[in-house]
Amino acid sequence: MPEPKHYVIKAEGAAFTLNATADAKAIVRRPLPEDHPAYVLIGRIAAEWARLEHILDTIIWELAGLEPATGSCLTAPQFTYRPRLKMMRSLIEKMGLSADIISKAKQLNKDVGDHAYLRNQCVHDAWFVQEDSQAPEILGQFQSFTFSNKAYGFHPVSEGQMNDTIATIGNLIADALSLQAMLSAELATSRET
């Protein structure tokens, strides 16, 4: 076995001593620099999700027959998509709207719930750049162990994965807008009769 070598590692104002063999590798994680391009994608993910929640708000206002400023008094305190979807589905069922609309609302509820973790992970998990003495710089997040996500630790995240998340949110937005169009048409017809 090779003789251990003495290494000094300096990171963020601290120095550490490590005794290791020559084949050891050093891994350093540091926060993203302020100008890292990942911030643009993280921002797009957050902004697109906010747009989705706004569409849910406008659906609720329309269902409740409220003008937007008054409706926002009810929906603004709802901090996540869950109460918005519950409110929307309750109004749809209370109003006795068509089975197609009820089905589409249930599917939207399921799809948003199934994909919310993508947004939450991108926005809430800590981002780092990992530097490995034997590999190029890697962008990733540190994920906590949770009931639904048992993947604890640093996990690489590619630009492609982030763009896929943006596309998924775009699909959810398209589905919400489609539901809104169906609702508007059915509500307009019911108001004429």
Tokens matching residue 163: 């763009």
Pairing of strands 126-132, 27-31: antiparallel
Q: How confident is the model at residue 191 (pLDDT cuts 50, 70, 90)?
A: confident
Lowest mean pLDDT among 4-18, 28-42, 60-74: 4-18
pTM score of the predicted model: 0.84
Residue 73: pLDDT over 90: yes
User: Tell me, what's the pLDDT at 77?
Assistant: 93
User: Tell me, what's the pLDDT at 27?
Assistant: 74
Give the Å distances, CA to CA, from 155 to 25, 29, 61, 71, 98.
Answer: 18, 12, 40, 41, 44
Rounded to whole angstroms, the Cα distance separating 113 from 25 reads: 41
Residue type for 142, please? F
The full set of domains in the chain, from first to last, is: 25-192 (1.20.120)
* Average pLDDT of the residues in 41-45: 98
- Residue range 120-166, pLDDT digits in tens: 999 999 999 988 767 788 999 988 776 666 778 889 999 999 999 99
Q: What is the mean pLDDT of the chain?
A: 88
Total number of residues shown for the chain: 193
The number of CA neighbours under 13 Å toward the Cβ of 132 is 11
Residue 15: pLDDT over 80: no
- Residue range 161-183, pLDDT digits in tens: 999 999 999 999 999 999 999 99
CB-CB contact of 74 with 88 (8 Å): no
